[in-house]
Structure 1
């Protein structure tokens, strides 16, 4: 599941500062590869955890982490389907899809936060605290992990370009102005 979180986060970051059409096209390609890798990593990780619980005759989805995990996996499936739909729509239909694309972007940021919250709950499960040999259990049950997650989320959210959520495309970091001279760019 760590591979899922890393590739999902990198897949979001790769699109943050694209400006030109060529950068956006290349960024979309990287985004697609990373997010599909994240998707398959999540499926493999979920399957391994589920299979392990079956082998050990343990209950499924009883902790906050387990319940959020099911929500994350369902949400991920919907995000992947919607992203593929938007990216593979024929060019002649691109205008209505561009208006929908901002919803994929907004729900992707919500998904990003949800994944990291689920990860925090995962590291604080009884299994992790009793079986962790890398990080001492006193740190797993403390707020240090939560602080790291907050910092990671703030780092991503600070890179947002809110004007892109309106479906507008510009060549700079600044929101588009409504002056006639800006349309000649």
Structure 2
């Protein structure tokens, strides 16, 4: 998911020479694969708890994981609305530029939810008892670093540049 988000950044994209439309296609493909993987993981954990007769969503990690999965599903729907705006734009009463800004803002919120959910997983009984303390800090650092990269990219692409009025965005994503 991280690479799918920073795909539009010239400084950290794996495909900096691709056109914006090709990057948008790859973004939606990578996000779709990510959502499928996360959904399968969620289903496996849910099934495993059912088989063991354990209750569901009793921890902050589990509850926030469910909320995050639902939020990311809604966020993906918003991305699909943007991708197919030319077909549904006449039915939607929101401008495409505004939808893109809302999608980026919701993506920032989704990445925050993902980060907190992943960090909460490191406080589970299993993680605390089975992960060496040094590896625990490495995992926490990697999750935090990924979140900082995403936040820097999104805010850099959509926040107004100095000298611009606060009602406009700083161009299209990826032009920062």
TM range (shorter): 0.7 to 0.9
CA shift, 1:171, in A, is 8.6
Contact 2:82/2:100 (8 A) holds in 1 = yes
1:80 aligns with 2:76: yes
Q: Which residue of 1 aligns with 2:115?
A: 116
1:127: Cα distance to partner? 2.6
1:153 is displaced (CA, Å) by: 1.8
Deviation at 1:164, TM superposition (A): 3.3
Match of 2:26 in 1: 30
Q: Are residue 96 (structure 1) and residue 90 (structure 2) matched?
A: no
Alignment of 1:9-48 (within 5 A): 9-17=2-10, 23-48=19-44
User: Does 1:63 find its partner at 2:32?
Assistant: no
- Could you tell me how far 1:147 is from its partner in structure 2? 3.5
1:158 aligns with 2:161: no
Stretches of structure 1 lacking an aligned partner (at least 5 in a row): 1-7, 174-185
| Deviation by residue 1:58-115 (Cα, 9 ceiling, x = unmatched) | 0110111001001101101100111101111217949812221110011101211210
**2:19 counterpart SS class:** helix
Q: 1:70 to 1:16 in 2, by over 3 A?
A: same
The Cα shift of 1:31 comes to: 0.4
Cα drift, residue 36 of structure 1: 0.2
Larger-Rg structure: 1
Which structure is higher in helix share? 1
Deviation at 1:10, TM superposition (A): 1.5
Compute the TM-score of the two structures, normalised by the length of structure 1. Answer: 0.73
TM-score (norm. length: structure 2):
0.77
Match status 1:169 vs 2:172:
yes
Shift of 1:155: 2.5
Provide the rounded CA distance (Å) in 1 between the counterparts of 2:88 and 2:120.
44
- Alpha carbons of structure 1 residues 159 and 69: separation in structure 2 relative to 1, 3 Å: same
CA distance in 1, matches of 2:97, 2:109: 19
Could you tell me whether the CA contact under 8 Å between 1:102 and 1:167 is conserved in 2? no
- Matched pairs, number: 160
Contact 2:157/2:170 (8 A) holds in 1: yes
Answer with 102-111 or 49-58: which moved more: 102-111
- For residues 56 and 99 of structure 2, the distance between their equivalents in structure 1, rounded to whole angstroms, comes to 36
